[in-house]
Chain A
Amino acid sequence: MRLQIKFAIYNALSKALIIAAFGAALPIVVEKVVYNHIDKRLIARSERVLKIIQRGGINDIIAEQDCSFESYSILKEEFVAIRPILSTEKTPPVQIIKNEEWVIEGENMNHRIIRKPFIYDNQLYELNIGEGLSTIDQLKSTISKFSLYMMLGVVLLSIFIDLGFVRILLRPFNRIVTGKLQPTISPTSFNFTPVPSSTYEFNQLDHSINEMMQKIRDAFLIEKEFISNVSHELQTPISILQNRLENIILDEKVPEEVTFKLIESQKTLSRMSKIIKALLLISKIENDQYLKNESVKIVELLDEVLEEIEDRLQQRNIQLVKQFYDDLQYEPCNRTLMFTFFFNIINNAIKYNKEGGSIIVTTQKTETNFVVEIKDTGIGIEESQIKNIFDRFKRLNQSSAEGYGLGLPIVKTIAAFHHIEIKVESQLNEGTVFKLIF
């Protein structure tokens, strides 16, 4: 997930949380305030009623003693009720205010009620004054709704603003990531132009990345130069020795036994030269010194490799089975490297095969990929050793076949260069399958 979006989500959530808490608390506060007002009003009214009773007597209000009185407004929002309390009733002689359902003309309505006992003419009465709560409930729900809409609005607005702001804020950071780091395949192609920013941390980051890249690039160039120099410096003495041996062998005065030894020495020299070439090849591929701008037909290339390698099949009396079901126009690639890639794998299948064995080369399209399978009936590899076969200078089978142990490391390097996946399955004494997934 992108940093910018994470920021926006975090901001939105934190705001939503604050507003939600506010929204939850608001109705309670409103209720408290409103009740406080009503209560004051109720107390004032009850005192007025009691004054009227003291001045004019209760008989003005209640027709007969021991009778109840009740009066209410048309909408039953307010009422005043006085009733005598019988001595048998146990009512605490104190004033209370509470919410209660009051039945008016058979209709239950929620009211805020003040209940006040008073004594008149040696008779204990109870005064009830109520005020309807339906408006209050309405007020509460209105406030809740309002705060909900408010919350949604603020959250949306804040997401919008935050996205914009964070984008501006993170612009230098994005420039570093997408403009500098992502397109860099090799340290030599790195863009060292500083990214302008007023944020201290981004400047620091950009500066550090540039500095590190500079170091990597220097090391890379030194390595490249080193490899080139080493190969030059080593190939020249090898060349001298090889040519000298060649000249000595040509000399007819040299006895035969010496000639044999010279030829062996030449082979050793050639081995040395090939190891250097192989290492040079691997490091050149790893350093991206090969172009990847060609296009090959895989089946055509396989045919070419198989033709090149035909003599080896013949020598070991190995039967080759081609099962080319599909073809692939593979691009971009490096043709020479792709040739070496297939050559080394098939050469391996021959080298570690049994005399008179067979090799099956299959090309096939699957749902998602193009797969080349090279299956041999050779000596196989132990399960635990499969992971090691691509390591440099590792020779697992001390069989008759000899090599430098660089054939498969080259294969691995070329595969990585072209992003080809290699899967190896093997059964000891049964054979090995190389699956190349394009």
Chain B
Amino acid sequence: MNVLIVEDERSLSHEIEIYLTKQSFNCDVAFTGKTAADKIHTNSYDFILLDLGLPDMDGLELLKDAKKSNSEASFIVITARGEVEDKITGLDLGADDYISKPFALAELQSRMQAILRRKHGLKNNTMSIHDFVMDIQNRTVIANGQSINLTKKEFDLLHYLGLHKNRVLTRMQLTEHIWGDVLEDDYDSNYIDVHVKNLRKKLAAHGSIDWFETVRGIGYRVNA
């Protein structure tokens, strides 16, 4: 998977690159709109992560051009402005998703995987975690032929942990994934624990959940 990171903040670009490289993506970076445009013309990418606030070019213009020359690529627009109009225009111009700064890298990766899933149709549409099979399309979990009734948040939680299996996800990463848009007034809330507790109870009724690990002081991990 080839990824082009178009971001004028070198440090940020670098962190994204480190993370995605670890997740076996081939990363290329561009710090200006002009280099980005050149790279998009000459190479072919699966993903283009595009910061709208470029110093030399309007990000939305670049998006329009890039869509023509790299029509196979998936675009994720990154912005710090958080303007609704930007979001709508970006999506109108053919961006596949939109993410506002600051975001968790784990969240970025899950968005990329969601796009992949959509693009490749039904093939990758289930996820197995030991005895449990998640149907992503229909948002159901089946164990031993029995369907388990999960709430939306419980399903998202399990899915997110499954996507990042064998890695600890912190409570904050999980919280931001589940409540992304809700502007929270608490900074030390562990409501995520309530959902994990409920989720575990439901899953445990259908099989062993030894794989669902609590990492003390940090968060949770799904081992596979």
Query: Which residues of A are in contact with B by a Cβ distance under 8 Å?
Result: 228, 231-232, 235-236, 238-240, 242-244, 246-247, 249-250, 256, 259-260, 263, 266-267, 269-271, 273-274, 277-278, 280-281, 308, 311-312, 314-315, 340, 343-344, 347, 351, 401-407, 410
- For the A-B complex with A236-B80, A247-B15, A311-B195 known, give 13 more contacts whose Cβ atoms are closer than 8 Å: A232-B53, A239-B101, A239-B102, A239-B103, A243-B19, A246-B19, A247-B19, A249-B218, A259-B218, A267-B188, A270-B176, A311-B194, A312-B194
Compute how far the CA of A270 lies from the CA of B189 in the bound complex, rounded to whole angstroms.
Answer: 12
A250 touches B15 (CB 8 A): no
A402-B187 contact given A243-B16, A311-B195, CB 8 Å threshold: yes
What is the number of contacts between chain A and chain B, taking CB atoms within 8 Å? 121
B102 touches A269 (CB 8 A): yes
B102 touches A263 (CB 8 A): no
- Whether B57 sits at the interface, judged by CB under 8 Å, is no
Contact of A347 among B12, B106, B185 (CB under 8 A): B185
* Shortest distance between the CB of B169 and any CB in chain A (Å): 10
* Shortest distance between the CB of A248 and any CB in chain B (Å): 10
A274 touches B183 (CB 8 A): yes
Compute how far the CA of A256 lies from the CA of B173 in the bound complex, rounded to whole angstroms.
Answer: 18
- Cβ of A273: which chain B residues have Cβ within 8 Å of it? 102
- Whether B18 sits at the interface, judged by CB under 8 Å, is yes
- Cβ of A250: which chain B residues have Cβ within 8 Å of it? 19, 22, 167
Query: For window 135-183 of chain B, which residues contact chain A by CB distance below 8 Å?
Result: 153, 167-168, 170, 172-173, 176, 182-183
A280 touches B82 (CB 8 A): yes
Residue of B with least CB distance to A305: B182
Query: For window 47-83 of chain B, which residues contact chain A by CB distance below 8 Å?
Result: 53, 80-83
- Cβ of A236: which chain B residues have Cβ within 8 Å of it? 9, 12, 80, 101
Residue of A with least CB distance to B83: A228
Residue of A with least CB distance to B175: A270
- Whether B186 sits at the interface, judged by CB under 8 Å, is yes
- Cβ of A314: which chain B residues have Cβ within 8 Å of it? 194
A239-B218 contact given A266-B172, A312-B191, A407-B185, CB 8 Å threshold: no
Most B CB contacts (10 A, CB to CB) among A240, A273, A314, A404 go to A240
- Cβ of A246: which chain B residues have Cβ within 8 Å of it? 15, 19, 104-106, 173
- Whether B217 sits at the interface, judged by CB under 8 Å, is yes
- Whether B11 sits at the interface, judged by CB under 8 Å, is yes
Compute how far the CA of A311 lies from the CA of B217 in the bound complex, rounded to whole angstroms.
Answer: 21
Compute how far the CA of A312 lies from the CA of B104 in the bound complex, rounded to whole angstroms.
Answer: 24
Residue of A with least CB distance to B152: A307
- Cβ of A410: which chain B residues have Cβ within 8 Å of it? 183
Most A CB contacts (10 A, CB to CB) among B9, B11, B185 go to B185
- Cβ of A277: which chain B residues have Cβ within 8 Å of it? 82, 183
- Whether B184 sits at the interface, judged by CB under 8 Å, is yes
Q: Kindly supply a per-residue 1/0 record for chain B positions 6-35, scoring 1 wherever the CB is within 8 Å of any chain A CB and 0 otherwise.
A: 000101100110110010000000000000
B82 touches A260 (CB 8 A): no
* Shortest distance between the CB of B92 and any CB in chain A (Å): 17
A344 touches B185 (CB 8 A): yes
B217 touches A260 (CB 8 A): yes
Compute how far the CA of A242 lies from the CA of B183 in the bound complex, rounded to whole angstroms.
Answer: 18
Compute how far the CA of A238 lies from the CA of B15 in the bound complex, rounded to whole angstroms.
Answer: 12
- Cβ of B176: which chain A residues have Cβ within 8 Å of it? 270
Compute how far the CA of A177 lies from the CA of B126 in the bound complex, rounded to whole angstroms.
Answer: 65
A243 touches B105 (CB 8 A): yes
- Cβ of A238: which chain B residues have Cβ within 8 Å of it? 101-102
Compute how far the CA of A263 lies from the CA of B7 in the bound complex, rounded to whole angstroms.
Answer: 26
- Cβ of B195: which chain A residues have Cβ within 8 Å of it? 311
- Cβ of A243: which chain B residues have Cβ within 8 Å of it? 12, 15-16, 19, 102, 104-105
- Cβ of A267: which chain B residues have Cβ within 8 Å of it? 172, 187-188
Compute how far the CA of A259 lies from the CA of B168 in the bound complex, rounded to whole angstroms.
Answer: 11
Compute how far the CA of A228 lies from the CA of B80 in the bound complex, rounded to whole angstroms.
Answer: 9
Compute how far the CA of A247 lies from the CA of B9 in the bound complex, rounded to whole angstroms.
Answer: 17
Residue of B with least CB distance to A266: B172
Contact of B172 among A239, A263, A281, A312 (CB under 8 A): A263
A231 touches B187 (CB 8 A): no
B104 touches A242 (CB 8 A): yes
Subset of 9 A-B contacts with CB under 8 Å: A240-B12, A246-B15, A246-B104, A270-B172, A270-B176, A311-B191, A315-B190, A406-B185, A410-B183
* Shortest distance between the CB of A351 and any CB in chain B (Å): 7
Residue of B with least CB distance to A228: B81
Compute how far the CA of A438 lies from the CA of B207 in the bound complex, rounded to whole angstroms.
Answer: 51
Compute how far the CA of A265 lies from the CA of B173 in the bound complex, rounded to whole angstroms.
Answer: 13
Compute how far the CA of A288 lies from the CA of B154 in the bound complex, rounded to whole angstroms.
Answer: 37
Compute how far the CA of A232 lies from the CA of B15 in the bound complex, rounded to whole angstroms.
Answer: 18
- Cβ of B16: which chain A residues have Cβ within 8 Å of it? 243
B217 touches A235 (CB 8 A): no
- Across the A-B interface, give the 10 residue pairs with the lowest CB-CB distance, nearest first: A407-B185, A239-B102, A243-B15, A271-B187, A235-B80, A311-B194, A239-B101, A403-B185, A232-B80, A235-B101
- Cβ of A340: which chain B residues have Cβ within 8 Å of it? 182-183
B186 touches A401 (CB 8 A): yes
- Cβ of A401: which chain B residues have Cβ within 8 Å of it? 186
Compute how far the CA of A319 lies from the CA of B102 in the bound complex, rounded to whole angstroms.
Answer: 35
Q: Kindly supply a per-residue 1/0 record for chain B positions 89-126, scoring 1 wherever the CB is within 8 Å of any chain A CB and 0 otherwise.
A: 00000000000111111100000000000000000000
- Cβ of A344: which chain B residues have Cβ within 8 Å of it? 185
Compute how far the CA of A153 lies from the CA of B42 in the bound complex, rounded to whole angstroms.
Answer: 92
